[in-house]
Structure 1
Amino acid sequence: MSISINIHVTAPKGATLGRLRFHGDEFICALGRSGIVTAKREGDGGTPIGTFPLRELRYRPDRVARPVSRLTMIETLPDDGWCDAPDDAAYNRFVKRPYGASTETLWRDDQLYDIAIMLGYNDAPVKPGAGSAIFFHLAKDKDGVLQPTEGCVALRLDDMRSVLANVTPTTQMVIELASTP
Structure 2
Amino acid sequence: MKRKIDLIRVQASPLSRSRGRLTVGGVSYPCVLGRSGVAATKREGDGVTPRAALPLRGLFQRLDRAPRIPSQLAFRAIRPQDAWCDDVCDRRYNTLIQRPLDQNAEERLTRGDRLYDVIVPLGWNDAPIVKGRGSAIFWHVSRENNAPTAGCVAVAPAVFRKVLPRLSRHAVMIID
TM-score normalized by the length of structure 2: 0.92
Q: Which residue of 1 aligns with 2:168?
A: 168
For the residues of structure 2 that align with 1:65 and 1:42, how far apart are their CA atoms?
33
For the residues of structure 1 that align with 2:43 and 2:73, how far apart are their CA atoms?
28
Q: Which residue of 2 aligns with 1:25?
A: 27
The CA deviation string for residues 107-138 of structure 1, in whole angstroms up to 9 with x for no partner, is: 01100110000111000000000000110000
Runs of 5+ unmatched residues, structure 1: 177-181
Q: Which residue of 1 aligns with 2:149?
A: 149
Check whether the contact 1:88–1:101 (CA below 8 A) recurs between aligned residues: no
For the residues of structure 2 that align with 1:101 and 1:88, how far apart are their CA atoms?
14
Identity of aligned residues (%): 42
For the residues of structure 2 that align with 1:4 and 1:29, how far apart are their CA atoms?
19
For the residues of structure 2 that align with 1:42 and 1:161, how far apart are their CA atoms?
30
Counterpart amino acid of residue 175 in structure 1: I
CA RMSD of aligned residues (A): 1.8
Q: Secondary structure at the match of 1:5?
A: strand
Is the counterpart of residue 8 in structure 1 residue 42 in structure 2?
A: no
Structure 1 residue ranges (4+ consecutive) displaced by more than 6 angstroms after TM superposition: none
Counterpart amino acid of residue 73 in structure 2: L
The alpha carbon displacement at 1:50 in A equals: 0.3
Q: Secondary structure at the match of 1:163?
A: helix
The CA deviation string for residues 28-65 of structure 1, in whole angstroms up to 9 with x for no partner, is: 00001111121111000110110011001000010011
Q: Secondary structure at the match of 1:159?
A: helix
Which of the residues 35, 42, 59 maps onto 1:40? 42
The alpha carbon displacement at 1:102 in A equals: 5.5
For the residues of structure 1 that align with 2:42 and 2:163, how far apart are their CA atoms?
25
Q: Secondary structure at the match of 1:137?
A: strand
Runs of 5+ unmatched residues, structure 2: none
For the residues of structure 2 that align with 1:34 and 1:173, how far apart are their CA atoms?
19
Q: Which residue of 1 aligns with 2:133?
A: 130
CA 1:50–1:101: 2 relative to 1, 3 Å: farther
The alpha carbon displacement at 1:5 in A equals: 2.7
Range moving further from structure 2, 71-80 or 99-108: 99-108
Q: Which residue of 1 aligns with 2:87?
A: 85
Q: Secondary structure at the match of 1:10?
A: strand
Which runs of structure 2 are paired with 1:96-115 in the superposition (5 Å)?
96-98=98-100, 103-115=106-118
For the residues of structure 1 that align with 2:84 and 2:59, how far apart are their CA atoms?
14
Counterpart amino acid of residue 121 in structure 1: W
For the residues of structure 1 that align with 2:125 and 2:33, how far apart are their CA atoms?
18
The number of equivalent residue pairs is 171
For the residues of structure 2 that align with 1:62 and 1:4, how far apart are their CA atoms?
28
Q: Secondary structure at the match of 2:23?
A: strand
Q: Secondary structure at the match of 1:141?
A: coil
TM-score normalized by the length of structure 1: 0.89
Check whether the contact 2:45–2:150 (CA below 8 A) recurs between aligned residues: yes
